[in-house]
Amino acid sequence: MLALAFFGWWYGRGWRELAQGMRRRLRMTALMFSAPILLRTLFSPWRRIVTAPGAGLDAKLRAVGDNLVSRAVGFCVRLIVLFTAGIMLVIVGALAVAELVAWPLLPLAAVILLVKGIITG
């Protein structure tokens, strides 16, 4: 009876819980890299470094140039982190799919290995 309860859980509720845990891992990976925030602030200045324009035309042009450089640096850094987050999400997703595929085969593998060990043992 215990074996039937185990297989009932394994192929029912256990498999659903595994899928929910994988969804949670994917969400946590995206949040670990702060992907939603990075997407929202993609064109923001790097570390909020903003030069205030001065009184003269030369100071205003210098401020515009400084602010453009700050935004370009911020864009590049955020883009690299987003790219890395994308790679990690693909890796975590691929591992999740492999785990979902392997999950129903694991009890069968245990039985096959036990029988093989007894036969060749």
Which one-letter amino acid corresponds to residue 87?
I
- Please report the sign of the dihedral spanned by the C-alpha atoms of residue 30, residue 32, residue 35, residue 37: positive
Closest by CA to 27, choosing from 66, 109, 75, 85, is: 85
Cα separation, 107 vs 105, whole angstroms: 6
pLDDT at residue 7, as a whole number? 87
Average pLDDT, the chain: 91
pLDDT at residue 60, as a whole number? 87
Query: Which sequence spans correspond to the domains of the chain?
Result: 2-120
pLDDT at residue 54, as a whole number? 79
Q: How far is CA 26 from the centre of its chain?
A: 5
Whether residue 103 contacts residue 55, with contact meaning beta carbons closer than 8 Å, is answered with no
* Whole-structure pTM value: 0.78
